[in-house]
A and B are shown apart, each in its own frame.
Chain A
């Protein structure tokens, strides 16, 4: 039986400011999904028919560098969205999304979102606003990082060395590639 997403929607900031009747309507396009640690919400390179809103738990964003090497790029928690890039450009999943702790997420199909957007739904507008803001912030952060790297190559190098020593240790000790955050 389909689990009612409404109680979960009420716990998430993205749905704040909407009336009960609006939420009732929106609850028809969201599905409650549960993931156990290590389970993938989505895999890099796959078609991306949906996006997620995290209600509880932690999700790792992982770059599949090669079949044996995986680079964790970020961890995403409650209230955040996942899958914004393919939601906007219709492309494939740029990264694997993997539960790092038990996860409850709300999933929305891209076509349903497009339908809401084309019907001038304030919710779809709010999601778009949210997404554009998030994308811009990520670009700005990356530009800042680039700026730091360019301004201080000595520090960059020592940071990269430290990171690789840690990676080497982790490979040696656990046989697993776990990269440290490069910051």
Chain B
């Protein structure tokens, strides 16, 4: 990969900075850069996972289908971040949907090919994993803080949960109040 293209890729996807030009080549060979318009469902809950995504530009919403068929938003993600990375570890189906909230630029990495690099202990794959891992840590630290917050004021939090429960009961037709 020539120096100019390498610099361009790194400017676009800073997560790849620890990788050498040859290693970036290896990742590019199994990836695609996609421009996606606002309002497009990029990941469909229940589908088989074939890719993970680096959100290069724009923002997306993660939503989850409830058993009643109603969809609930779980999180809004802003670039630069990663999504669909849970599929890195197992072949389970997508646990949530992802819809673009703005026009976005996505770096789509083919999972099967990535896992082949991983199985061959290729530095390119592990340097990329090392880049992605802090995002996972950030999400877990966030959950950990929320647990702490809950137990700092359990009564108020319990009351809020109860209120949410009541509101929910009231909003579902045909359910006893």
Contacts and interface: CB of A to CB of B under 8 A. Distances in A.
Interface residues of A, number: 44
Contacts of A161: 158
A63 B151 contact: yes
Nearest to A146: B74
A143 interface: yes
A120 B130 CA distance: 12
A120 B72 CA distance: 43
Interface of B is mostly: helix
Interface residues of B, number: 41
A140 B86 contact: yes
A119 to B, nearest CB: 10
Nearest to A94: B144
B158 A153 contact: no
Interface string A146-183: 11001101101100110010000000000000010000
Interface of A is mostly: helix
Contact of B158 (A69, A120, A131, A160): A160
Contact of A85 (B86, B137, B158, B165): B137
B136 A132 contact: yes
Interface string B103-126: 000000000000000100101001
26 contacts: A63-B147, A63-B151, A71-B147, A73-B144, A84-B137, A88-B133, A88-B134, A89-B134, A120-B123, A122-B121, A125-B121, A125-B126, A129-B126, A132-B129, A133-B89, A135-B137, A139-B139, A139-B143, A140-B86, A142-B140, A143-B74, A144-B95, A150-B66, A150-B72, A164-B158, A179-B151
Interface of A: 63, 65-66, 69, 71, 73, 84-85, 88-89, 91, 94-95, 117, 120, 122, 124-125, 128-129, 131-133, 135-140, 142-144, 146-147, 150-151, 153-154, 156-157, 160-161, 164, 179
